[in-house]
A = this chain, B = another copy of it.
Amino acid sequence: MAAPPDTLAERVLAGDPRAVARAISLVEDGDAEGVVLIRSIFPRTGRAFLVGITGVPGGGKSTLVDRLIATIRAKGKTVGVLAVDPSSPFSGGAVLGDRVRMNAHTADRGVFVRSMATRGHLGGLARTTGDAALVLDAAGFDVILIETVGVGQDEVDVAQAVDATVVVLVPGTGDDVQAIKAGIMEIADVFVANKADREGIDRLVHSIEGSLSLQAVPDRAWIPPVLKTEAVTGRGVDDLWATLCRFRHEREPARADRRRARVQASLRNLVGELLLTRLEAALPTGMLEHLAADVEARRVDHYTAAQTVLAAVPLGPAKTP
């Protein structure tokens, strides 16, 4: 009973929430219908403001996002939220216990919240999230918040697909904080020191500012500000939103190089994914399995096995189906 793609695209463009939900599911499942849909809505995208929100688990990101929704709605703008979950290689399922909080907004047509599982495959997370954001963009949402859990490569990938990245830290995250900062220092456009009522908040702010002064900042005209918030009470959240808007209008247009580099990287990933899919379809049945067994038994190393796969399949230009 799937709607024909044209109709689904039209309904997405009209902002129908059920069509948006269905479209994101198609995208998430890697369905061919999803690709057709993205193609047809693509010319109508590029208007929304994409904000990534990342940082340590336990940093209160969900509460912050919840508050940010309220602030943005109070300015008369609509908001789509993508909450990206850590993936499981087995179930691929999305479970976010704290999503329940966002239910406060469910009666509001100006808010759309969606949890997404990160997929284990090639370029999976960044592309799926990017396509889901295109759906929300086409549906007319003014702002799209992409919340990620964790501080790894996933977050760096997502940061490359948004207009502005907020990195959330909290006092007292302990001995690994150096390591976290080393990784995400350069993706932050705005730092948030959340749980500002906690002991150690000033030390945290100084430590971030200290690291900023030590590291090479890519854009001297925008030193990422460090804002204090208290997501539970909402303190500092209006200021966060004002800072994001200022960033968007003052600095984001000057980042054409960064934007181009990220489009190129995502295109490269997509090409890789399509290539691999085509290769797998063309491989003799069981070839990958047999070679993997040989590698496991140490009869052949993985590099030689990979070369064997490549040599087996002359990949020509795509045939029109």
Contacts and interface: CB of A to CB of B under 8 A. Distances in A.
A197 interface: no
B263 A295 contact: yes
A243 interface: no
A108 to B, nearest CB: 23
Nearest to A305: B267
Interface string A195-226: 00000000000000000000010100000000
Interface stretch (A18-26, A40-48, A68-76): A40-48
A227 interface: no
A183 to B, nearest CB: 3
Given A272-B275, A292-B260, A311-B318, A57 B180 contact: yes
A284 interface: no
Interface in A261-289: 263-264, 266-276, 278-280, 288-289
A266 B87 CA distance: 17
Contact of A317 (B95, B149, B185, B314): B314
Contacts of A307: 274, 318
A186 interface: yes
A198 B258 CA distance: 44
Interface residues of A, number: 105
A95 B178 contact: yes
Interface string A58-98: 11111100000000000000000000011111110111111
Interface string A287-314: 0110111011010011111110111111
A282 to B, nearest CB: 11
B271 A309 contact: yes
A302 B155 CA distance: 21
Interface of A: 35, 38-39, 42-43, 45-46, 56-63, 85-91, 93-98, 118, 120, 122-123, 125, 148-157, 159-160, 172-180, 182-187, 216, 218, 259-260, 263-264, 266-276, 278-280, 288-289, 291-293, 295-296, 298, 301-307, 309-318
30 contacts: A38-B301, A57-B57, A57-B151, A57-B174, A57-B179, A58-B174, A58-B175, A60-B175, A62-B175, A88-B184, A95-B178, A96-B179, A120-B156, A120-B157, A122-B272, A149-B180, A149-B183, A152-B153, A154-B154, A260-B289, A263-B292, A267-B295, A271-B309, A272-B279, A274-B307, A275-B275, A275-B279, A275-B315, A312-B317, A313-B317
Given A57-B177, A87-B153, A120-B153, 20 more contacts: A56-B57, A88-B185, A97-B179, A120-B156, A122-B269, A152-B152, A152-B153, A152-B155, A153-B153, A259-B296, A263-B296, A266-B302, A271-B279, A272-B273, A272-B275, A274-B310, A275-B279, A312-B317, A314-B316, A314-B317
